[in-house]
Amino acid sequence: MSETADPLVLDFVEWVAREPRAYAEVIASWKTSCPRLTIWEDAADRGYVARETRPGLGLIITVTEDGERFLRAHGR
């Protein structure tokens, strides 16, 4: 991942950390047609967020322990 995308990955992980997000909300909010800006995919590949199925909620995106460490390391 490029260093230019790092601040966006940090913003994304912080956004998800506020509350688990529905998969559909993540796609609607963070989808991009630019192949160089795959923010939420980069966060998932780095282990900062994970997909999880919860009864009554369906597929959601949550922050992992690595994601929490990433946020703390950047003062968030």
CATH number of the structural domain spanning residue 63: 1.10.10.10
pLDDT at position 1: 43
**Structural domain total, the chain:** 1
**Model pLDDT for residues 19-61, shown as the tens digit of each residue:** 989 999 998 888 777 766 788 889 999 999 999 998 988 999 9
Q: Which residue has the higher pLDDT, 5 or 54?
A: 54
Tokens in use for 37? 């800006």
pLDDT for 2: 47
In a domain, residue 26? The reply is: yes
For residues 37 and 8, the answer to whether their CB atoms sit within 8 Å is: yes
Whether 12 is in a domain gets the answer yes
